[in-house]
Amino acid sequence: MNEQESLQSRLLMLAVSIAGTAVLVWMEVPPDQRMMWTLEAKARAQRWLNRAARRAGHAGMGSELSGWRQSAAAGYGLAYRLARARDRLA
């Protein structure tokens, strides 16, 4: 086994260990606390998606006003997809 495979196997073992620890911690937390964590994570993701959609739309509008039609279409499309993802989290 070379050094690259050894590093990969250690990283895989580390990822599995962290995931297992996270599952154990999640199961030990009371259900109402788990619900609050879930709601907070959802709200944080919605805020992030909202900011990203707004910035993409703003960039698309700037591209359109500058005459870059294809770039504007890509910006508007990205803004639309981000807004749809945000709305699905609601």
Quote the pLDDT of residue 41.
Answer: 95
What is the rounded average pLDDT of the residues 45-51?
97
Quote the pLDDT of residue 1.
Answer: 58
pTM: predicted TM-score of the whole model, two decimal places: 0.72
70 or 12, greater pLDDT? 12
- pLDDT of 2 strictly over 80: no
What is the rounded average pLDDT of the residues 34-50?
96
pLDDT digits (tens, 9 = 90+) for 53-78: 999 999 999 988 888 888 888 889 99
Q: Long-range contacts made by residues 52-60, C-beta under 8 angstroms, separation at least 24?
A: 52/82, 53/78, 53/79, 53/80, 53/82, 53/83, 53/86, 54/79, 56/82
Buried residues in 8-32 as b, exposed as e (16+ CB within 10 A): eeeeeeeeeeeeeeeeeeeeeeeee
75 or 3, greater pLDDT? 75
Query: Tokens 């960039």 belong to which residue?
Result: 59
